[in-house]
């Protein structure tokens, strides 16, 4: 099944829509404004359970029928939610076992959202009943375009400690390990006398004051919770697929939360979508760029959706800055530039009441269509209608970053030599270097096929299995270039050490032995000198130093301080037809930039069109057509040298040859002639 987007043939533009919060007379005004603003899709019903099923045995579909019809009449597609994101008070009151319980055993209370137990059999049953009712009712409705299941899984509810969850965990463990002997071995329960002699003895992970919990138990509970929430999703997915086999199904992702392995989830979705709220105070939203690249990579470069963002400001930071004029438009275009085909917002009309009334919207509290923000909304809506040609085009990358959710969990568990290693920060260091150079990059999985890539970066790959180590070895052997960094190759999938000298499974490939390591305080730094002629110079590093013994590799850089002065800090090992680099400390950005530029030049990965720092560029391609996106994140205009190629800007329709000048915060989408 293909995503219906292509039926529509245009960039999707829209928002969450909560008509249940407004009297019906406002709905007509909404229709008028939506069309005026270029809105072609709304997401409906996310928090409508209590409105659809106000009491256990009473369903009220009338209001939803009316708004569905109205949207259909106005040509606005509906991304219809299953309404299970926030169960109604009658459900949690009458069936208290459906309520989540926190790590201390305190049951949640009604009055916020996502207060359910995802493991609850009773909860899943009520979800299933509701979803079937909704699916049957609207399966043939002309407005129905896509299904949205629940909402932001794992965003406001990440763990479950109900009896149902604990039982579920035990069953999950039985399926995973078969026998208690195997579990005891994999968890290393010989340590601290933790051995289990009965499945019933096993519970969720636990600490005691000044002592850590079993890492295997902690990792598996995280895996179980991911699977438990995924099962909650699939509980609805199966019904929707059965009733409406042709309607695309998805749920939304939030990349700042680490507890769901979205790569696994994406397999069960027809399209993927992201909720993204970068702080407007950021210069360039590099982190959002990485999120888009990751999202795109989850479905093999198939276009994705920006599912939620805000026009102005959110209300959940300590201080919620306003987006400056032009910033919303610029950052919206980043989603298209990196491979998306739709831009949606939370939400259409700013709420009058409730916990998110100060969260921005397309229509502000004033209702003022002449306000600065609404004018920008309308402008963007108009522009997007000119981008039909872009729809469906794709990004192609020869560089990959290897990213592993379970490694993320493992790296940041307690009891490590350093509690300050943040996996995303490690990855971002190198992603930032690639972004600065506008090198296209996919963000792939440990078990992904790497054969299409020239360069693979795998920062801090602490947890690695033999198969992945082997895959990396074959990648380099056959000519690839690999860069990995300190705190890689340490443990297996159950956090058990790979014995035999760090980083044991990569030791041969990298040609080094990490004999010791020295973690730093946050205030501490060390220094190194790059001896490689291509990126020579003195640099500082923070967080960590490896004490490396060369076993075939050569030193590209050496430490110039501390007791390991003169020891290798960066190494490279020729292996087969390729090469494997190792960075044995956390470099300042300047050095990461230099290393990546060095490799990008060597492997000819730099883009044709060169842009100044602060300008983002990318290329989407489709059947020989190629669209060059240029985004000026700077506070001043820039001139881009087009190297004599002629093009037309899809947004303005203007043609350019020699060069193009872009205002501060402006965007161009160049179609080469």
Which CB atom, from 50 or from 440, has the smaller least distance to a second copy? 50
**Which one of 236, 308, 383, 473 is the catalytic residue?**
308
Touching a second copy, residues 73-102 (CB under 8 A): 83, 85-90, 93, 100
Candidate residues 292, 348, 431, 502; the one interacting with a second copy per rule CB under 8 A: 502
Residue from 28, 467, 497, 610 that binds a second copy (CB under 8 A)? 497
Closest separation in Å from C-beta 490 to a second copy: 9
The two structure tokens encoding residue 37: 């603003």
Which residue of the set 152, 236, 376, 383 is catalytic?
A: 152
Q: Which residues of 100-112 are buried (b: 16+ CB within 10 A; e: fewer)?
A: bbeeeeeebeeee
| Binds a second copy by CB under 8 A, chosen from 5, 113, 296, 299 | 113
Which residues in 552-571 contact a second copy (CB under 8 A)?
563
551 binds a second copy (CB under 8 A): no
What would the 3-class secondary structure string for 189-233 be?
CCHHHCCCCCHHHCCCCCCECCECCCHHHHHHHHHHHHHHHHHHH
Binds a second copy (CB under 8 A): choice among 238, 357, 447, 673: 357
Closest among 509, 507, 452 to 476, alpha carbons compared: 509
**Beta-carbon contacts of residue 484 (< 8 Å; ≥ 6 apart):** 457, 458, 459, 461, 472, 506, 510, 580, 581, 582, 583
> Does 215 help bind a second copy (rule: CB under 8 A)?
yes
308 is catalytic: yes
Contact letters (x/-) for a second copy, 300-339, by CB under 8 A? ------------xx-xx-xxxxx-xx--------------
Should residue 213 be labelled a site residue for a second copy when binding is judged by CB under 8 A?
yes
The residues in 366-395 that bind a second copy, with binding defined as CB under 8 A, are 366-368, 371-373
Instruction: List the one residue from 54, 96, 163, 612 that touches a second copy (CB under 8 A).
Output: 54
Residues between 159 and 198 with contacts to a second copy, criterion CB under 8 A: 187-198
- Sign of the CA dihedral running 370, 373, 378, 380: positive
Residue 347, preceding peptide bond in cis (omega within 30° of 0): yes
Q: Does residue 55 touch a second copy according to CB under 8 A?
A: yes
Residue 519 or 607 with smaller CB distance to a second copy = 519
CB of 263 to a second copy, least distance (A): 22
Give the three-class secondary structure for 80.
Answer: strand
Which one, of 432, 423, 448, lies nearest residue 299 by Cα? 448
Number of residues engaging a second copy in binding (CB under 8 A) = 119
Q: Is 431 in the site for a second copy (CB under 8 A)?
A: no
Q: Which stretch binds a second copy (CB under 8 A): 202-210, 386-394, 395-403, 640-648?
A: 202-210
Task: Give yes or no for residue 406 binding a second copy (CB under 8 A).
Answer: no
Determine, following the binding rule CB under 8 A, whether residue 511 of this chain makes contact with a second copy: no
Q: Does 21 bind a second copy (CB under 8 A)?
A: yes
Site string for a second copy, 438-477 (x = CB under 8 A): ----------------------------------------
Q: How far is the CB of 242 from a second copy (least distance, A)?
A: 25
Q: What is the DSSP string of 581-632?
A: EEE-EEE-HHHHHHHHHHHHHHTT-S-SS---TTEEEEEEEETTEEEEEEEE
152 in catalytic set: yes
531-550: contacts with a second copy (CB under 8 A): 547
The reply on whether position 57 binds a second copy by CB under 8 A is no
Residue 210 touching a second copy (CB under 8 A): yes
Here the tokens at position 561 are 């301080």
CA dist., res. 393 & res. 391, Å (int): 6
Neighbours of 302 (CB within 10 A): 19
Among 3, 13, 49, 629, binds a second copy (CB under 8 A): 49
Nearer to a second copy, 190 or 639 (CB): 190
The answer to whether 526 contacts a second copy (rule: CB under 8 A) is no
Instruction: State which residue, 16 or 293, has the beta carbon closest to a second copy.
Output: 16
The β-bridge relationship of strands 12-17 and 41-44 is parallel
Least Cβ distance, residue 541 to a second copy (angstroms): 14
- Residue of 2, 207, 385, 478 that binds a second copy (CB under 8 A): 207
Dist. CA 169–CA 345, nearest whole Å: 36
Verify binding: residue 399, a second copy, rule CB under 8 A: no
491 near 499, Cβ under 8 Å? no
CA distances from residue 438 to 457, 485, 642 in whole angstroms, order as listed: 16, 22, 15
Helix axis angle, 62-73 to 24-37, nearest 10°: 30
**Residue whose CB is less far from a second copy, 578 or 587:** 587
Q: Does 23 contact a second copy by CB under 8 A?
A: no
Closest CA to 309 of 285, 296, 63, 297: 285
- CB 37 within 8 Å of CB 73: no
Main-chain dihedrals φ then ψ at residue 649, nearest 5 degrees: -85, 115
258 binds a second copy (CB under 8 A): no
Residues marked as catalytic: 152, 308
């Amino acid at each position: 099944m293909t995503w219906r987007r292509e039926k529509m043939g245009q960039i999707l533009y829209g928002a969450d829509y909560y008509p249940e919060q407004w009297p019906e007379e406002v709905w007509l005004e909404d229709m008028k404004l939506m069309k005026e603003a270029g809105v072609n899709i709304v997401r409906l019903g996310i928090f409508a359970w209590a409105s659809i099923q106000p009491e256990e045995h009473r369903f009220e579909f009338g209001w939803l029928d009316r708004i569905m019809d109205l949207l259909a009449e106005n040509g606005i597609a509906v991304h219809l939610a299953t309404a299970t994101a926030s169960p109604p008070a009658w459900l949690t009151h009458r069936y208290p076992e459906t309520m989540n319980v926190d790590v201390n055993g305190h049951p949640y209370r009604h009055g916020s959202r996502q207060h359910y137990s995802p493991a609850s059999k009773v909860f899943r049953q009520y979800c299933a009943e509701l979803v079937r009712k909704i699916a049957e009712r609207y399966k043939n409705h002309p407005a129905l375009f896509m299904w949205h299941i629940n909402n932001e899984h794992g965003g406001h509810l990440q763990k479950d400690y109900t009896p149902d969850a604990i039982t579920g965990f035990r069953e999950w463990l039985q399926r995973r390990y078969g026998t208690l002997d195997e579990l005891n071995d994999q968890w290393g329960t010989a340590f601290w006398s933790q051995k289990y002699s009965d499945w019933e003895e096993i519970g969720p992970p636990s600490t005691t004051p000044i002592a850590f919990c079993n890492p295997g138990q902690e990792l598996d509970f995280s895996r179980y919770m991911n699977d438990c929430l995924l099962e909650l999703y699939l509980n609805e997915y199966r019904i929707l697929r059965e009733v409406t086999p042709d309607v695309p199904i998805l749920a939304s992702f939030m990349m700042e939360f680490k507890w769901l392995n979205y790569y696994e989830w994406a397999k069960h979705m027809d399209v993927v979508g992201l909720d993204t709220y970068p702080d407007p105070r950021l210069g360039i939203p590099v982190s959002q760029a990485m999120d888009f690249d990751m999202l795109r990579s989850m479905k093999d470069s198939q276009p994705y959706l920006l599912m939620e963002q805000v026009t102005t400001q959110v209300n959940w930071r300590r201080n919620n800055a306003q987006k400056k004029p032009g910033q919303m438009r610029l950052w919206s275009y980043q989603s298209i530039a990196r491979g998306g085909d739709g831009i949606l917002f939370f939400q259409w009309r700013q709420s009058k009441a409730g916990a998110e009334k100060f969260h921005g919207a397309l229509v502000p509290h004033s209702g003022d269509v002449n306000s600065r923000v609404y004018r920008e909304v309308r402008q963007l809506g108009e522009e997007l209608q000119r981008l039909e040609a872009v729809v469906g085009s794709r990004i192609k990358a020869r560089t990959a970053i290897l990213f592993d959710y379970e490694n993320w969990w493992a790296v940041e568990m307690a009891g490590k030599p350093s509690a300050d290693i943040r996996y995303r920060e490690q990855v971002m260091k190198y992603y930032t270097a690639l972004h600065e150079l506008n090198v296209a990059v996919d963000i792939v999985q440990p078990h992904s096929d790497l054969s299409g890539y020239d360069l693979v970066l795998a920062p801090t790959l602490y947890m690695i299995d033999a198969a992945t180590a082997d895959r990396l070895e074959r990648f380099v052997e056959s000519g690839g270039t690999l860069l990995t960094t300190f705190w890689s190759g340490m443990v297996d999938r159950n956090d058990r050490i790979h014995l035999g000298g760090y980083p044991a499974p990569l030791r041969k490939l990298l040609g080094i032995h990490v004999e010791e390591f020295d973690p730093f305080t946050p205030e501490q730094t060390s220094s190194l000198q790059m001896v490689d002629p291509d990126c020579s110079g003195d640099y500082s590093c923070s967080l960590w130093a490896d004490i490396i013994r060369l076993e075939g590799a050569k030193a590209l850089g050496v430490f110039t301080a501390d007791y390991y002065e003169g020891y290798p800090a960066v190494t490279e090992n020729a292996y087969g037809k390729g090469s494997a680099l190792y960075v044995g400390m956390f470099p300042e950005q300047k050095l990461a930039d230099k290393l990546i530029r060095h490799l990008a030049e060597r492997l000819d990965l730099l883009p044709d069109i060169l842009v100044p720092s602060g300008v983002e560029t990318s290329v989407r391609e489709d059947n020989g057509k190629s669209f060059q996106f240029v985004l000026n994140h700077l506070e001043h205009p820039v001139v881009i040298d087009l190297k004599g190629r002629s093009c037309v800007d899809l947004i303005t329709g203007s043609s350019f040859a020699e060069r193009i000048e872009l205002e501060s915060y402006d965007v161009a989408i160049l179609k080469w002639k």
